[in-house]
Each structure stands twice: as C-alpha cells, then as structure tokens.
Structure 1
Amino acid sequence: MLAPDSITLGYAVMDRDHADSLALWEAASAAPAGALQAAFAAFAAHLREHFARENALMTEHGFFALHCHMEEHARVLAVIAVIEAELGEGKEERARKYLRFHFPDWFHTHLATMDRVTADFLARAEG
C-alpha cells in the first residue's frame, strides 16, 4: 500500500499535496457502504486542485515533460469523473475497486517516475 514516507519528494508544495492525497484516499477507502460518495467527492476535489497546482508550476517553469505529465493528470481526472457520476447513481463498485487497486498502484508509480522528475526539476528551477 501507500506509506507516508514513500511519498516525500523533497519539494514542499508537492509533498503537502501528496500527503493530503494519501489522507483523503484513506478516508474514502474506509468509508462505509452508502457513505462513499461524500468521501470520494472530497478526494476528487483535492485531486483536481492538486493537479492544477502542479500543472501551473510545470507551466511556469517550462518543465520539459509538461504535456506528458498534464495528459496523465487529465487521464486520471477523466476516470475520477466517471466514478463520481456512478456514485451519484448509488453505484459504489467501481469506486471501491479504484480506491483499493488502481489508485494506489497508479499513485506509487506516478510519484516514483513523473513526480520525482518534476520535483527535482522544480527544485533546481527555483534554486
């Protein structure tokens, strides 16, 4: 699973967003049946804000892999939107699977690859 020490990249804005992502993911994952919609909505809202902040930083500093990284964010947000719509209809199954399997795997890989490179680039650009 996801551990707080495994999400630290050494770039404060991203580290704070990742810690918040983890906390909201945990809250959504622990939501009882019938109560997932609100917890998932908080998680989704945070992801939209988190990705927007990261996209703005990458744009501001001319990150070399900007479009690839932004497209990955957009892809995840598209999945999140589908899940939110299903939750609005009372369907929790896909959301539960996403929270249990897909998001942790994606988040871990994204942090270790795209976000690691981005954090290093931003730290150098601002240093």
Structure 2
Amino acid sequence: MNQDALPPTPVSEQGPLAWSDELLLGYPPMDHRHEEFVACLGDLQRAPDEILPMALDAMIHHLAEHFGEEDRWMEESGFPPRQCHVDEHAAVLRSAAEVRSLLLQGEMAPCRRLADALEDWFPGHATHLDSALAHWMCKAQLGGKPVVLRRRS
C-alpha cells in the first residue's frame, strides 16, 4: 500500500510532537513560528512542576505573538476565510488564560492537559487553517503556490 495514502498517525501514538519537515507549509515566516511553537510546547511538556508556571507563561507569550502575527497577515491581506481562523486563535488563548488561573491556584493537572491538547490540536490546525493562509500569502507575495520539499526517512 502507498504510504502517502495512509492517514496520519495520531500524535498520541507517535510520542511528543517534534519539529520535522512534515510540518512545513512553504511560507517561511509561518514555518519559523511553527518551529518555535513546537519547541515552546516541548519545554512546557517537559517542565517540572516547580517551573511549570514560567513554562506556561512562555507558551502564552508565544501564542499571543504567533497568533497576533497570523491574525495581522489575514487582516492586512484580506484573507477571505479569516474569521474562523481568528476565532480559533482566540479560543486557544482563552483556554490558556483559564489554565494559567488554575495553575496559579496550585492546580497542575489542567496545565498538563492543556499541553497535551495543544499537541493534539496543532497538526490539524496547521494542515487545515494555516496551510490555506500559507498558500494565500505565497500567492499574494510571490505570485505562486508554496513549494515544500520533504525528506523521506
């Protein structure tokens, strides 16, 4: 059977999310942000309890910058389906803020669950919403579709 025809393995069966060229979308500024996201998420997932609040704050800071940049790209370029994308970003930020509140009250489990949820959420978000934006931005700025070269292992 053709490997490309197989559905992707859910993240939970693969282990922690790691940056690879499988996550590339072909718009370098977005790919860079996504690589930062994966690194920040890994830091959050590996953080011991005593530094979990700092790791969550770093994740929230990254999310605000990351989503703010994508939201600006969508607004400034007139990206047609931007509202559902912006709304999803806002929902993730709201969830992270709620978890931060709980963490400050000493509840570690919601933070661990948020990290797992972000790990599960990100590949689908990138594949469905961010890839459309990457295509739009490449077309607007470069006049063509994004080109992505992936290594086979």
TM class, shorter-chain normalised?
over 0.9
Tell me which residue corresponds to 2:136. Answer: 121
So what's the TM-score if we normalise by structure 1? 0.95
Tell me which residue corresponds to 1:46. Answer: 62
So what's the TM-score if we normalise by structure 2? 0.79
Number of matched residues? 126
Tell me which residue corresponds to 2:118. Answer: 103
Superposed structure 1 runs of 4+ greater than 2 Å apart: none
Distance in 1 separating the partners of 2:62 and 2:120: 18
Q: One-letter code of the match for 1:15?
A: D
Q: Which residue, 28, 45, 56 being the options, matches 1:12? A: 28
Tell me which residue corresponds to 2:127. Answer: 112
Partner-residue secondary structure (3-state), 1:70: helix
Task: Map Cα deviations across residues 3-47 of structure 1 (whole Å, 9 max, x no partner).
Answer: 312321111111111011110100010001222110111011000
Partner-residue secondary structure (3-state), 1:64: coil
Q: Which residue, 103, 106, 112 being the options, matches 1:87? A: 103
* The structure with more helix, counted as a fraction of residues: 1
Gaps in structure 2 of 5+ consecutive residues: 1-10, 12-16, 143-153
Gaps in structure 1 of 5+ consecutive residues: none
Partner-residue secondary structure (3-state), 1:35: helix
Instruction: Find the structure with the greater CA-based Rg.
Output: 2
1:43-82 matches, cutoff 5 A: 43-82=59-98
Task: Map Cα deviations across residues 77-123 of structure 1 (whole Å, 9 max, x no partner).
Answer: 110110111111121101101212x1111101101100011101111
Asked if structure 1 preserves the Cα contact closer than 8 Å seen for 2:96 and 2:114, the reply is no
Asked if structure 1 preserves the Cα contact closer than 8 Å seen for 2:33 and 2:66, the reply is yes
Tell me which residue corresponds to 2:46. Answer: 30
RMSD: 1.0
Percent of aligned positions with the same letter in both sequences? 33
